[in-house]
């Protein structure tokens, strides 16, 4: 090579090297044609047809694979894998084309390997006869095989729309094809209806796709109509299950066509390990000779329907089938809707029927021609015998018969070949009695060729016959989208009762009540103490008020679980608090009902609805949480109005009911005067009346705003003790 290299434009390289390869993959390998088959399927099935496997007994798969190599120059394993998918044993097709014996794996199992071809046996399934009907009557084109030693069909004359009855998937270069399967009866009925009336509502006849693995299709009618019209789109398929109450387990017995038992089991096992599905204790594959079965053990008193709704969301137990109806029409890939596919299939079948009719016309015309010649000698059998007997040379027998009866060479040859014993009136009359019948048949066939309506009538009759003979009930159940329970993220949150502890140094502990019952003393830092504890549940929201007039919002389920023996979570880290910022109060709520009472040093108080802290967006931080101009003495949550005792810095006391304070919607409202100032006094303490230890509370009661009354001597000691 003397080290030289040749420069070539990338475009030229693609044209010369890549484009032929891409074209070959598209046209000769990956994309199905109008008969519903890829070349590899067609070559295999035709080989089996030629081997006489439509009738008789099964033969070893290895035998079929070897014979197929005459048409398909690939390795034996590639050919065998092609065959496996077509078998009854593998269950990949709604109507398997190959009847099998032995282990051919399962379409729903990724790991179940099929046995070697020497162990399995096959023959063509009865329905395959409909793919080959009249193939020996010139109804499709034949071409040479790869080495020119034999002929093979370009397409099989499929009498039903196999392209839509059996699923097909192929990945070519730069394009792919994914065709779902439909119920044979529904497809036949839809095709007949379409032939009789162009303007049909396809959904009326073709309810939804149908899969060999069953399951349930979630029908979104709008999306399905789009798929039917364009050949593109997707729909959801989910598994079917039953609940075994006695053994407290869920048995899954049908799964989406697009997944495998192994993928489902792995996904469920991952959920169990991660603790996301605590209601499930085990999952295992119990598939046996009776069929597919995945068993999920659940804890007693768990709701199986709720568990399955979660599993549908989190595992391939519910999966999508993406449609891409890409089909080769005259070596050109086209993505089409169903009616367009049926148009091409009907055209193809019309061509097949016309070609078969022309073949029959030719054969029957030839027979008629011979019988017409035979009928002429019926007029004078003795003359025919005389001509033959008086002819001296064998070569002159035919010319002499032609001359004697005014017939052509073909007719004369036929007469000359008749056995002597058959040269009697009875035999010749019997033979020629078919002349009128043949003439009528030829006329009828010519009428078929000439009229589309006759051809379409034949197609409809054949479809009715096939529907009756091979049709079966739907395997995949249809469920309207409106009947499916919508599972939100909320459904996956485990709810349980718990207690929250807030400490002086800014630690928060979330401890379930079950854990609390069995735990000892709360672990805290040496100089730390609990400033607030509240009881709530895991699905509630939490409001955390800081000394910087900010409220932080979080979902309690987002906080990690803690134990009494742990310090808890440091809020400064969790909430990213500013330097010097501390959480002073927490409040858990489900529905943002009730009010907060903010009591300020200047004697003003604000009653703010908790709903003022609710936001439509998931905001984590709200500023202006409360009034900033006067120091906050205390805040309380009011489920309803209640009695309080307010203490001033000069030992004045005011007892009042919060119903006297009008609510303010603005979070940082300064509120209203409650405890009036005297000689510069300020609000120093406020407590619920029930905790005040006042012996005669009515003595201190007044309508707000008020200065209050001096604390009685008898209340001083008790009150001070209670406030310490």
**Cβ distance 160 to 131 under 8 Å?**
no
Say whether 119 is catalytic: yes
Cα distance between residue 675 and residue 670, in whole Å: 14
**Cβ distance 683 to 713 under 8 Å?**
no
Q: Is the dihedral of CA 256, 260, 261, 265 positive or negative?
A: negative
Bridge partner list, 349: none
Cα distance between residue 444 and residue 365, in whole Å: 12
Write the DSSP assignment of 77-89 as a string of letters. Answer: HHHHHHHHHHBTT
CA 476 to mean position of chain CA atoms = 12
What contacts 389, CB < 8 A, 6 or more positions away? none
**Cβ distance 648 to 708 under 8 Å?**
yes
Strands of the 59-60 sheet, one edge to the other: 59-60, 121-124, 98-101
Bridge partner list, 87: 98
Which phi and psi angles does 295 have, rounded to 5°?
-105, 130
With vertex at residue 196, the alpha carbon angle to CA 193 and CA 198, rounded to the nearest 5 degrees, is 85
How many C-beta neighbours within 10 Å does residue 267 have?
Answer: 16
What contacts 580, CB < 8 A, 6 or more positions away? 548
Bridge partner list, 378: none
**Cβ distance 541 to 588 under 8 Å?**
yes
Bridge partner list, 329: 332
User: Three-class SS of residue 73?
Assistant: coil
Of 21, 119, 496, 699, the catalytic one is 119
Dihedral class, residue 134 (left if φ above 0, else alpha if ψ from -120 to 50, else beta):
left
Q: Which of 253, 352, 386, 348 is nearest to 308 (CA)?
A: 253
Write the DSSP assignment of 545-573 as a string of letters. Answer: EETTS-EEEEEGGGSPP--TTS--EEHHH
Tokens of 384: 């025919």
Write the DSSP assignment of 162-228 as a string of letters. Answer: HHHHS-EEEE-SS-EEEE----HHHHHHHHHHHHH-SS--HHHH--S---TT--EEEE-HHHHHHHH
> Could you say which DSSP state residue 693 is in?
-
How many C-beta neighbours within 10 Å does residue 226 have?
Answer: 17
Q: How many CA atoms lie within 13 A of 699 on its CB side?
A: 12
Q: Which of 366, 354, 372, 347 is nearest to 446 (CA)?
A: 354
Dihedral class, residue 215 (left if φ above 0, else alpha if ψ from -120 to 50, else beta):
left
Q: State the catalytic residues.
A: 119
């Amino acid at each position: 090579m003397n080290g030289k290299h040749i420069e070539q434009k990338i475009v030229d390289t693609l044209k010369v090297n890549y484009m032929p390869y891409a074209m070959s993959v598209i046209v000769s390998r990956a994309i199905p044609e109008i008969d519903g088959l890829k070349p590899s399927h067609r070559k295999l099935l035709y080989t089996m047809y030629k081997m006489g496997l439509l009738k008789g007994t099964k033969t070893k798969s290895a035998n079929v694979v070897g014979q197929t190599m005459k048409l398909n120059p690939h390795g034996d394993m590639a050919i065998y894998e092609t065959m496996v998918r077509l078998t009854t044993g593998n269950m990949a097709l709604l109507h398997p084309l190959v009847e099998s014996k032995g282990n051919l794996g399962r379409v729903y199992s990724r790991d179940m390997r099929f046995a070697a071809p020497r162990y399995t046996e096959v023959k063509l399934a009865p329905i395959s006869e409909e793919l080959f009907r009249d193939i020996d009557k010139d109804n499709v084109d034949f071409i040479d095989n790869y080495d020119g030693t034999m002929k093979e069909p370009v397409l099989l004359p499929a009498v039903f729309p196999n392209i839509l009855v059996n699923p097909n998937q192929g990945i070519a270069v730069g394009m792919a094809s994914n065709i779902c399967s439909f119920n044979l009866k529904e497809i036949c009925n839809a095709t007949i209806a379409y032939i009789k009336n162009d303007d049909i509502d396809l959904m009326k006849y073709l309810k939804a796709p149908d899969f060999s693995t069953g399951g349930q299709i979630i029908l979104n009618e709008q999306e399905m109509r789009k798929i039917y019209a364009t050949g593109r789109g997707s729909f959801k398929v989910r598994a079917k299950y039953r609940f075994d109450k006695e053994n407290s387990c869920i048995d899954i017995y049908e799964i989406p066509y697009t997944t495998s038992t192994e993928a489902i089991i792995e996904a469920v096992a991952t959920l169990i390990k991660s603790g996301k599905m605590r209601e499930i204790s085990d999952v295992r594959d119990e598939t046996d000779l009776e069929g597919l079965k995945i068993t999920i053990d659940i804890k007693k008193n768990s709701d199986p329907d709720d568990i399955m709704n979660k599993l549908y969301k989190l595992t391939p137990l519910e999966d999508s089938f993406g449609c891409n109806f890409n089909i080769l029409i005259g070596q050109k890939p086209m993505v089409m809707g169903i009616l367009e596919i049926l148009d091409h299939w009907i055209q193809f079948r019309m061509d097949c029927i016309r070609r078969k009719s022309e073949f029959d016309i030719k054969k029957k015309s030839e027979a008629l021609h011979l019988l017409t010649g035979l009928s002429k000698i019926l007029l004078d059998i003795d003359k025919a015998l005389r001509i033959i007997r008086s002819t001296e040379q064998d070569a002159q027998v035919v010319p002499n018969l032609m001359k004697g009866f005014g017939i052509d060479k073909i007719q004369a040859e036929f007469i000359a070949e008749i056995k002597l014993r058959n040269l009697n009136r009875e035999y010749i009359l019997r033979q020629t009695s078919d002349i009128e019948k043949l003439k009528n048949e030829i006329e009828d066939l010519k009428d078929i060729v000439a009229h589309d309506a006759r051809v379409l009538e034949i197609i409809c009759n054949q479809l009715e016959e096939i529907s009756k003979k091979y049709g079966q009930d739907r395997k995949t159940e249809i469920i309207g989208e409106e009947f499916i329970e919508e599972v939100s993220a909320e459904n996956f949150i485990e709810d349980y009762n718990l207690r929250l502890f807030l400490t002086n140094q800014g630690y928060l502990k979330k401890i379930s009540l079950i854990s609390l019952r069995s735990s000892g003393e709360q672990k805290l830092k040496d100089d730390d103490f609990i400033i607030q504890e509240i009881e709530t549940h895991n699905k509630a929201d939490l409001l955390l008020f800081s000394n910087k007039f900010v409220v932080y919002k979080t979902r309690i389920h987002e906080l990690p679980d803690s134990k009494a023996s742990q310090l808890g979570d440091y809020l400064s880290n969790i909430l990213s608090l500013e330097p010097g910022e501390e959480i002073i109060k927490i409040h858990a709520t489900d529905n943002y009902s009730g009010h907060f009472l903010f009591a300020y040093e200047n004697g003003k108080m604000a009653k703010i609805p908790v709903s003022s802290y609710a936001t439509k967006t998931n905001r984590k931080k709200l500023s202006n949480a409360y009034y900033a101009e006067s120091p906050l003495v205390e805040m309380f949550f009011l489920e309803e109005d209640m009695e309080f005792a307010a203490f001033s810095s000069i030992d004045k006391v005011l007892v009042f009911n919060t119903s006297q304070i009008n609510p303010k919607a603005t979070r940082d409202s300064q509120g209203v005067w409650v405890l009036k100032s005297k000689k510069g006094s300020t609000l120093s303490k406020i407590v619920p009346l029930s905790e005040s230890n006042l012996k005669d509370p009515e003595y201190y009661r007044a309508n707000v705003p008020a200065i209050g009354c001096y604390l009685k001597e008898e209340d001083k000691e008790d009150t001070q003790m209670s406030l310490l």
